[in-house]
A = this chain, B = another copy of it.
Amino acid sequence: MRIHVQNPANDPEFAITQAQWDAAIARSPDMAGLQVSFADSEEGFASALPEAEILLSWVRPLRQRFPAGALPGVAPRLKVIACTSAGVDSAAPFDWLPDSVALLNNRGTHAEKAGEFGIMAILMLQTGMPIFADQQRRGEWKPRFSSTLEGRRVVIVGLGSLGGGVARRAKQFGMTVIGVRNGAGDHPDCDETHSTDALDRVLPQAEFLVLACPLTDRTRNLLSRERIALLPSGARIVNIARGAVWDQDAVCDALDAGHLEGCVTDVAVPEPLPAEHRLWRTPGMVVTPHVSADDHARYNDRTLDILFENLRAMREGRPMPNRVDPAKGY
C-alpha cells in the first residue's frame, strides 16, 4: 500500500520525519510493507495523490485540495485520509468526502497533555491565579487563600481524549467529576455521566466547567448566554474545545459582571486572535494560543501509532477506531 505523508509547510516542529517513520515501523513491524512518500509543498502533494491509497495530512488543506466532487478524479486510489488533529471541524461540511474513503481523526494523541493542561487550569482558577496576575502587574501583595480541590464539583462536557484526560486528573485530586456526553454510558473517571440533553440540569452544579467536546452543528454555541446564566455565581470555566462552542462575548460579559470568577481558554474566535480583541483584556480571563493538547515531543510518534492501529483494523476487517462519522462530525 502506498501512503503519502503531507507535512505542513514551514512547521518543522510538527513535520513527520523519515526517522520518526522508521521508529514507528520498528514498533509495528507488520506495517513494514507500506511504501511511504513525504512532502511539504503543494507540488509534492499534487504529484503523490494519483497513486496514494492512504493520505496522512493536516486537516486544514483538505477542503481546498478536494472541492466537492473532485476527490475521485485527483486521488482515484485513495481509501483512507488520516488527519493529524483530533478535531476535524475545519474540514466540514463533508460534501467533498466520498463514502468509499474513510476519514480518520487523531483522537488519542492528546489525552495526556490535555489532562495536564486541564488540571493546571483548574488549579490556577481555584488558587486565584488570574487575580494574583492582576495584583502582580500592580505590585500589590494581597493574600487570598483557597482550599484544595477535594470534593469540588467539575462538569466536563465531552469525554473523548481531551475530556477523558481531564477527568482522570480531576479524579486524582479528589474532585467530584460529572461527565456530559452524547449518549449515556458510564465513564471510569466520572462519578456521574449525563447525556447532552441534561446539560441545563447539570450546569447549576458546576463549580468548574470544562468544555472539551468537538465542534459540530450540535455543539456550536452550546454554552450560550442563557446557559452561562444557569451556572452558579462564581463559577469558573476552562475551554479546551473550540472558541465557537461558547458564546465568547457572553463569557466576557459574565466575567465583567462578576457572575463568573475566572476562565482559562486555549481557543478563540478567530484564531489567531487579533491584538485588539476584548478577550485578551477581560479581567479574570487567561488566554493561551491553542497549545493545550499538542505534546510536540511525542505527537508524531503517537500519530503514527494510532494510524497503524487503524490500518491494522482495516486489514483485519474490523471497524477503524478513529473513523469519523461525517453525519456527526467527529
Contacts and interface: CB of A to CB of B under 8 A. Distances in A.
Interface stretch (A39-47, A81-89, A112-120, A231-239): A112-120
Interface stretch (A100-108, A187-195, A292-300): A292-300
A28 interface: no
Given A123-B116, A141-B272, A275-B139, A147 B296 contact: yes
A124 B127 contact: no
Contacts of A138: 275
Interface string A239-268: 000000000000000000000000000001
A112 B148 contact: yes
A147 to B, nearest CB: 4
A272 B139 CA distance: 10
A140 interface: yes
A146 B295 contact: yes
B123 A119 contact: yes
A118 B280 CA distance: 27
Contacts of A116: 123, 126-127, 148-149, 173
Contacts of A127: 116-117, 120, 288, 291
A274 to B, nearest CB: 7
Given A116-B173, A123-B116, A297 B132 contact: no
A142 interface: yes
B145 A295 contact: yes
Interface string A198-242: 000000000000000000000000000000000000000000000
Interface of A: 13, 112-113, 116-117, 119-120, 123-124, 126-129, 132-133, 135-150, 172-173, 268, 271-277, 280-281, 286-291, 294-298
A120 B123 contact: yes
- Decide if the interface of chain A is mainly helix, strand, loop or mixed: loop
Contacts of A124: 120, 124, 129
A271 B141 contact: yes
A129 B120 CA distance: 10
Contacts of A119: 123
A87 to B, nearest CB: 15
A145 B272 contact: no
Nearest to A147: B297
Contact of A113 (B129, B139, B148, B172): B148
A124 B126 CA distance: 14
Given A127-B117, A288-B132, A298 B141 contact: no
Contacts of A136: 280, 286-287
